Amino acid sequence: MADAEILKAVKTAIEAAPPRKFNQSLDLAFNLKDIDLSIPKNRLDEDVLLPHGRGTGVRIAVIAGPEVAEKVKKVADTIISADKLSELGGDRKAAKVLAARHAYFVAEAPLMPTIGKTLGIVLGPRGKMPRPVPPGSDPSMLVDNLRRTVKVRSKDRRTFHAPVGPISMSVEQLAENAEAIIKRVQGRLERGALNIQSIYLKTTMGPSVRVR
């Protein structure tokens, strides 16, 4: 059961959301304080596995040789061969489209140096460098977990957002997802909750509701 404070905020945010013909999403907004985010080590760059998943489709690309490609062909949205890397490296526009279309990348570990040279300039700044896996392994479980994962990234800004899930999910599920994200953020900050000035919840078209 989620924290009562978070549960109440989720209910209020959903009730305040004006009806729309699409499935609105619920997002968390964090406002930090007393922390210097110009120092890279203070910035947040976390992957949070949500207890109830994201509730929406998440596209994942796998960069691999034939053996691993065969293992993930039923779970990956896009499979990129090693031969394709040099082509993408020479086509910045195509590489940017690829990065924009996929939330996560997974790659066989031996390919990581080549990926760094060809796609690193595009994927790196977006926080999308691939998760390496051992050569010949089956990363299907990793791909499945990434579909239930959200990235929480502050960069150098004290205010940043994280998706919780669509409002078609139950209030309890959304509250537990939100709590998982909040706990991870607090756990990563040097002074924990003392580094958080405020936390809000907001649906796509609705007003912000303060959590704490």
CA 204/CA 64 separation, integer angstroms: 37
At 62, is the secondary structure helix, strand, or coil? strand
Residue 200: Cβ within 10 Å count: 19
Spell out the residues 6+ positions from residue 173 whose beta carbon is closer than 8 angstroms to its own.
51, 52, 55, 165
The arithmetic mean of pLDDT across residues 110-122, rounded, is: 94
Report field, pTM of the whole predicted structure over 0.85 = no
Instruction: Give the tens place of pLDDT for each residue, 146-194.
Output: 999 999 999 999 999 999 999 999 999 999 999 999 999 999 999 999 9
CATH class as words, domain 4-55+148-210 = alpha beta
Query: CB neighbours (10 Å) of residue 110?
Result: 13
pLDDT at 2 over 80: no
Which sequence spans correspond to the domains of the chain?
4-55+148-210, 60-146
The CATH homologous superfamily to which domain 60-146 belongs is: Ribosomal protein L1/L10, domain II (3.40.50.790)
Euclidean distance between the first and the last CA atom of the chain, given in angstroms as a whole number: 18
